[in-house]
Amino acid sequence: MNQYDIIIIGTGAGGGTLVHALKDSGKKILVLERGTYLPREKENWDSIAVFHHDRYHTKEVWKTNDEKDFHPQTGYWVGGNTKVYGAALFRLREKNFEGVTHIDGTTPEWPLKYKDLEPYYTEAEKLFNVHGKMGEDPTEPFRSGEYPNPPVSHEPRIQELHDELKAKGYNPFRLPIGVRLKENDMLNSPCIRCDTCDGFPCMIHAKADADTNCVRPSLSDTNITLMTEVKATKLITDASGKTVTRVEAERGDEKFSFSADIVVVAAGAINSAILLLASANDMHTNGLANSSGMVGRNLMKHNNAAMLAISTKANPTKFQKTLAVNDFYWGDDEFKFPMGHVQLMGKSNKDQISPDAPFFTPGLVLEEMANHSVDWWFTGEDLPLADNRVTLKNGQIYIQYTDTNTKGFERLKNKWSDVLKDVDDVTHFIPHSLYLKKNIPLEGLAHQCGTCRFGNDPKNAVLDINCITHDVDNLYVVDGSFFPSSGAVNPSLTIIANALRVGEHLLERMK
Ligand SMILES: Cc1cc2nc3c(=O)[nH]c(=O)nc-3n(C[C@H](O)[C@H](O)[C@H](O)COP(=O)(O)OP(=O)(O)OC[C@H]3O[C@@H](n4cnc5c(N)ncnc54)[C@H](O)[C@@H]3O)c2cc1C
Ligand code: SF4
């Protein structure tokens, strides 16, 4: 019997969270996931396997519009990209929802405001074991309560850096992060604070991800069926074009056809747009739910960069992703436009930095560099441009993306280099490309969003405020696609909070 109340396609931050939100609904739910469970194996924590051999990334080849091939830095697993994410779980700021003026343009206002999402952010932080401390980040939006878990402490080298920054008048804060850590009872703590977290899967399932926090705990409920290694290929509508009647899918050569009253696409911003474009029919000639022409457009992925700051001081830190700085998020006295966000990355070892070092650098020098570096991650807001887009031609995924709003971001990186020289005895800066794959910038699609934005006007938005497509009554998109703008903090908590919000709406609709 292939008839369901609801089909959810994809189990990442959006889809996985929605599975959790609907688990007690009593509805018959089918979850289609093109990946399998990410295996627990020694390679989970092996830098060479993870970063050099791309063990957990798809082998798919996508193309740029000028026909250059690239391997996208994305993975297909139960839990989606949250299996390898750094679990830095931030709320957007209030102003991000209002429309922000940048040096290169203005971002659109969201159809809902921060206060509408605040209760769901609170629930999302509980669901994803977020640790943090209210009141430390000067740009923090209103919070209705303290974080559900205490902040993760800095190791001594990072505490020293924190104290130096504080002494100079900056406002470093403890980074909100989703891990199952009990610092006051390490003997019984699932998380061991290891040095292979950010960008790696967690071998011992201590990272809060959509698989272990949402999907697996929901499956004991027999009304939910998860089919892994099943890729949704096409959505079929009735003759009116107003209702999706079937989902076509495949596992290798095996073909499936499923029906449901409601279909939710949560395949990640790029693959969700691709699925809609692949589902064009006589009623939807430009792609399903694409009367606005916006499906696949406004692709954002953040201006991201990673940098190693090498100083005379040794850095034996293991779990480094504990500190962030938002002092330049909205600009500073000299530059009145937003610059972006600074946070620590996982601690790099010599294998991770080797591709950025000159080819003659011997292993020992690399090791010294790694032992004396602090690793920083920068995020700046990229603007939603209609020409930055995902398209499908003869079954091939194409990505067209031109950098936007880079002036503030460049300033942020320079500013932070100056700060570190001043406070931390830093002697060298090395751009760090392995994590980002910055030599082919498009590969670094980790923060992809915006390809089916939500908005009140069906002429320029794909989704309405509840993430139902304006054109098709029983079709939803619930992942990073809905963002009208990207802000400058990591996207997952907003994707999760929104999925909880849409889940509540769906429970009401299906009553
Ligand atoms: C290395 C790395 C580090 C990151 N660190 C952070 C961080 O610290 N903080 C943060 O907030 N974010 C981080 N991110 C980003 C974060 O992982 C994503 O923003 C988030 O996972 C996106 O959620 P999503 O639901 O939109 O898509 P995804 O999580 O990508 O989920 C999409 C799901 O759909 C499945 N799927 C795709 N196509 C189909 C199909 N046709 N049929 C069936 N299933 C399909 C996929 O297999 C996947 O399970 C990081 C990402 C990476 C890669
Ligand atoms: S730091 Fe904790 S959550 Fe991260 S990989 Fe290590 S054990 Fe897992």
What does the pLDDT look like over 326-370, one tens digit per residue? 999 999 999 999 999 999 998 888 777 776 666 556 666 778 878
pLDDT tens readout for residues 231-273: 999 999 999 999 999 999 999 999 999 999 999 999 999 999 9
412-421 as b/e, with b when 16 or more CB fall inside 10 Å?
Answer: bbebbeebbe
Residue 432's pLDDT band, with cuts at 50, 70 and 90, is: low
Tell me the backbone φ, ψ of residue 451, rounded to 5 degrees: -75, -10
H or E element that contains 306: strand 303-311
42: which 2 tokens? 């020694």
- Nearest atom, ligand 1, residue 177 CA: 8
| pLDDT for res 1 | 57
pLDDT number for residue 405 = 96
> 10 Å Cβ neighbour count for 231?
19
- Rounded to the nearest angstrom, the distance between the alpha carbon of 399 and the centre of ligand 2 is 33
Q: Is the CB of 447 under 6 A from ligand 2?
A: no
Q: Is 186 in the pocket of ligand 2 (CB under 6 A)?
A: no
Q: Which atom of ligand 2 is nearest to the CA of 193?
A: 1
Q: What is the DSSP letter of 468?
A: B
Report, as an integer, the average pLDDT of 458-470: 98
pLDDT surpassing 60 at residue 434:
no
C-alpha of residue 377 to centroid of ligand 1, in Å = 19
CA distance 450 to 81: 17
The string of pLDDT tens digits covering residues 466-488 is 999 999 999 999 999 999 999 99
Bigger pLDDT: 200 vs 1: 200
Instruction: Name the closest-CA residue to atom 3, ligand 2.
Output: 207
Any ligand 1 atom below 6 A from CB of 83 = no
Q: Is the CB of 204 under 6 A from ligand 2?
A: yes
| Helix spans in 75-209 (H) | 114-127, 156-167
pLDDT of residue 356: 63
Chain centroid offset of residue 102 CA = 22
pLDDT of residue 286 exceeding 90: yes
Nearest residue by C-alpha to atom 39 in ligand 1: 267
Nearest to 278 by CA among 292, 296, 262, 261: 296
- Say what the pLDDT of residue 438 is: 41
For residue 192 and ligand 2, the question of a CB distance below 6 A is answered with: yes
C-alpha span between 181 and 363 (Å, rounded): 34
Residue whose pair of structure tokens reads 């999907």 in the numeric block: 215
> Could you tell me the domains of the chain?
3-509 (3.50.50.60)
Minimal-distance CA residue to ligand 1 atom 53: 446
At 314-323, the pLDDT tens digits run 999 999 999 9
Q: Cβ of 53: how many Cβ atoms within 10 Å?
A: 12
What's the pLDDT score for residue 439? Answer: 39
Element (H, E) at 430: strand 426-431
Assign 499 a pLDDT band (cuts: 50, 70, 90).
very high
- pLDDT value at residue 369: 79
Inter-residue contact 432 to 353 (CB < 8 Å): yes
First to last CA, the chain: 22
Q: If you measure from the C-alpha of residue 317 to the centroid of ligand 2, how many angstroms do you get, rounded to a whole number?
A: 14
Ligand 2 center to 186 CA (angstroms): 13
Q: Whose CA is nearest to atom 2 of ligand 2?
A: 191
> 342: exposed, middle or buried (C-beta count within 10 Å: 0-12, 13-18, 19+)?
buried
Model confidence at 310, pLDDT cuts 50, 70, 90, reads: confident
**Mean predicted confidence (pLDDT) in 94-105:** 97
Beta carbons of 84 and 75 less than 8 angstroms apart:
yes
Task: Please state, as a whole number, how many other Cβ atoms lie within 10 Å of the Cβ of residue 358.
Answer: 6
- Burial class of 47 by CB neighbour count within 10 A (0 to 12, 13 to 18, 19+): buried
Per-residue pLDDT at 435 exceeds 50: no
CA of 211 to the centre of ligand 2 (A): 15
Residue closest via CA to ligand 2's atom 6 equals: 194
How large is the greatest C-alpha to C-alpha distance in the chain, in angstroms?
Answer: 70
In 177-329, which ranges are continuous DSSP H helix? 210, 216-218, 269-278
Cα-atom radius of gyration of the chain, to the nearest Å? 22
What pLDDT shows up at residue 358? 61
